């Protein structure tokens, strides 16, 4: 498509760089800005610029935080000897929403991905290793997505902290609640079988 304006063309191109947004949607979004007062675009761009420029991370868990130590890390009621390792703030929000976890987090800010050129040093992984050696928690819980990147990252962390003797656990994988057995994928089903648990334990919730 050839747009009748360079300004439009550049705006569409930049919007379409965002993940999951194609040229068509980008054009729709750009035209939407025109239908709104100029303040609308100003507020949007200012919010994005300020966020990218001034974003800060908790000095302990590296979650996004406006303060040097995030609310969770600063909470004395939390169990600071339990570190849950997650990819990003979305996972923290999801786990917090369960209301079941009282430990603290370590936010990696990404996963190791050789395909995308993301190595261990590009995420907050060295900081995790250092933190584990310093704080010596009683357990490290890996709550990483069951993808190639998640598994690679998990294995890397495991190897890096193995010598400390601190137990490393990972989230249970299995048939999801409400999921029908016949629709579960083979991999999940096979692992659920292999890692089956005593029936009594399944009544605990």
Query: Minimum distance between the CB of residue 132 and its own copies, rounded to whole angstroms?
Result: 22
Q: Using the minimum distance from each CB to its own copies, give the nearer residue, 91 or 161.
A: 91
Query: Minimum distance between the CB of residue 42 and its own copies, rounded to whole angstroms?
Result: 7
Taking a C-beta distance cutoff of 8 angstroms, is the pair 141, 85 a contact?
yes
Query: Minimum distance between the CB of residue 70 and its own copies, rounded to whole angstroms?
Result: 6
Q: Using the minimum distance from each CB to its own copies, give the nearer residue, 54 or 121.
A: 54
Is 33 exposed, middle or buried, given 0-12, 13-18 or 19+ CB atoms closer than 10 A?
A: middle
3-state secondary structure of 204: coil
Query: Minimum distance between the CB of residue 180 and its own copies, rounded to whole angstroms?
Result: 25
139-142 and 79-86 beta bridge pairing? parallel
Q: Using the minimum distance from each CB to its own copies, give the nearer residue, 96 or 135.
A: 96
Q: Which residues bind its own copies (CB under 8 A)?
A: 1-8, 10-11, 13-15, 17-20, 25, 27-35, 38, 40-56, 58, 63-66, 70-72, 88-90, 92-93, 97, 109-110
Pick left, alpha or beta for residue 20 (phi over 0 → left; psi -120 to 50 → alpha; otherwise beta): left
Query: Minimum distance between the CB of residue 131 and its own copies, rounded to whole angstroms?
Result: 18
Q: Using the minimum distance from each CB to its own copies, give the nearer residue, 79 or 88.
A: 88
Residue carrying the six token digits 């704080």: 135
CB atoms within 10 A of CB 104: 22
Q: Using the minimum distance from each CB to its own copies, give the nearer residue, 87 or 161.
A: 87
CB atoms within 10 A of CB 16: 16
Tell me the C-alpha distance between 68 and 58, whole Å. 5
């Amino acid at each position: 498509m050839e747009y009748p304006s360079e300004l439009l063309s550049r705006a569409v191109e930049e919007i379409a760089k965002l993940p999951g947004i194609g040229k068509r949607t980008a054009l729709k979004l750009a035209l939407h800005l025109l239908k709104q007062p100029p303040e609308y675009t100003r507020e949007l761009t200012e919010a994005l610029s300020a966020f990218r420029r001034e974003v800060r991370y908790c000095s302990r868990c590296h979650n996004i935080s406006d303060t040097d130590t995030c609310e969770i890390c600063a909470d004395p009621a939390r169990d600071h000897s339990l570190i849950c390792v997650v990819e990003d703030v979305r996972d923290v929000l999801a786990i917090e929403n369960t209301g079941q976890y009282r430990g603290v987090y370590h936010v990696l800010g990404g996963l190791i991905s050789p395909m995308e050129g993301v190595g261990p040093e590009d995420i907050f992984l060295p900081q995790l290793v250092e933190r584990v050696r310093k704080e010596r928690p009683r357990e490290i819980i890996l709550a990483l997505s069951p993808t190639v990147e998640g598994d690679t990252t998990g294995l890397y962390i495991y190897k890096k902290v193995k010598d400390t003797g601190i137990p490393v656990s990972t989230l249970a994988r299995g048939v999801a609640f409400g999921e029908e057995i016949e629709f579960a994928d083979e991999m999940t089903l096979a692992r659920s079988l292999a890692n089956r648990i005593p029936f009594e334990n399944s009544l605990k919730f």
